[in-house]
Chain A
Amino acid sequence: MSNNLKDILSESNKDIDNQRLMDYLSNHISQADLHDIEKTMADDSFVNDAVEGLQQMKPGKDLQLYVEQLNGDLKKQIAKNKKRKNKRSIKDQPTIYLAVIVILILLVICFLVIRRNNPVVTPENTPNSIQVK
């Protein structure tokens, strides 16, 4: 008796998985599980409203199909957003392009300056080669 009284006070924080909920809706559930779900309904308005709504669906409707369709659409939406975000992130950062161009220009300038100060030694312009002539 006292344990059952404690049950009234305790909050059912259990998350019901979708399969159990479907089993409840189709009455393919044990008495213990049924009571468990109804206890969660009594504590959780989200679950309670959801069950009341799902019970209003026309009989024979494939709930699982509905859920899969909605999940598929959600995945597509998230993939689309990700693509758009990637595109935008490249477009939105012209400074990166600018920085790369500046670095390349600096590298070319450095190369030219070094080349000018240290001319390449070839047989034609070495002092020895002049002596041979």
Chain B
Amino acid sequence: MKPDKYKHIDDNELLRQFYADKNNEWLGILLQRYTLLLLGVCMKYLKNEEEAKDGVQQVFLKAITELHKYKVDYFKSWLYMVAKNHCLMRLRDKGKQPEEIKEGLLATADETDDKMNLVAKDSILTQMEMALQQLNDEQQQCVTLFYLDKKSYHQIAEQTGYSLLQVKSNIQNGKRNLKIMLQRLQQHEQ
């Protein structure tokens, strides 16, 4: 994989440069950073390599057109939403998935989780231990093995007998539930 010549310039700076002079070449540099991820997302939804490649090109075009029209603050999340929406529309056009596309539902982890960023204090850690005990067995087991014992998805799957998908889902849901429980506990304290 070719190294990124512009690695020293972060996404926000590239976007700022683009908004300053409207030169698409800044967008080119930015979009190329996400080609592999976009290919993966398109492949996940469209399940066909040629369609996935075509999907990535469409997402590039859409991104270039849309970014001229309005300002985007969280480029990565926005690009993910564009890619996901594009794939869902393609599936809907084919009649494969009559799934309703709601942008709100597509808000990604880093945006929603930013709002929930919690400062790790001693009291929170105590509450965390309590909250961890309240998770259901599957989630508790997977979260503990993943975050505390630093095991990989495969190792957890082998150890617990769950499928890889179950492991991932238990970790993600477990983490989300922990945050919700912590927020409740904090609100209760206040």
Cβ–Cβ contact A50 & B152, under 8 A: no
Which residues, 41 to 79 on B, are CB-close (under 8 Å) to A?
Answer: 41-45, 47, 49, 52-53, 56-57, 60-61, 64, 76-77, 79
Q: Are B1 and A6 in contact (CB under 8 A)?
A: no
Contact B171 A42 (CB under 8 A): yes
B60 touches A77 (CB 8 A): yes
The count of A-to-B residue pairs whose CB atoms sit within 8 angstroms is: 159
Cβ-defined contact, B150 with A35, below 8 A: yes
Query: 1/0 per position for A63-75, CB-CB distance to B under 8 A?
Result: 1101111110111
Residue of B nearest to A20 (CB): B1
Known: A5-B128, A42-B168, A45-B108. A67 touches B146 (CB 8 A): no
> What count of chain B residues pass the 8 Å CB interface test?
65
- Chain A interface: which size bin? 35 or more
Q: Could you tell me the dominant secondary structure of chain A's interface residues?
A: helix
* Contact (Cβ within 8 A) B43 A22: no
* Partner-contacting stretch, out of A7-15, A92-100, A124-132: A7-15
- A interface, CB within 8 angstroms of B: 1-2, 4-11, 13, 15, 17-19, 21-22, 31, 34-35, 38-39, 41-54, 56-58, 61, 63-64, 66-71, 73-75, 77-78, 81-82
- A-B contacts besides A4-B147, A43-B109, A74-B32, 8 pairs, CB < 8 Å: A11-B113, A45-B80, A46-B76, A49-B40, A53-B41, A53-B52, A54-B36, A54-B39
Chain B residues with CB under 8 Å of chain A are: 1-4, 24-25, 27-28, 31-33, 35-45, 47, 49, 52-53, 56-57, 60-61, 64, 76-77, 79-80, 84, 108-110, 113-114, 117-118, 120, 122, 124-125, 128-129, 132, 143, 146-148, 150-153, 168, 171-172, 175, 178-179, 182
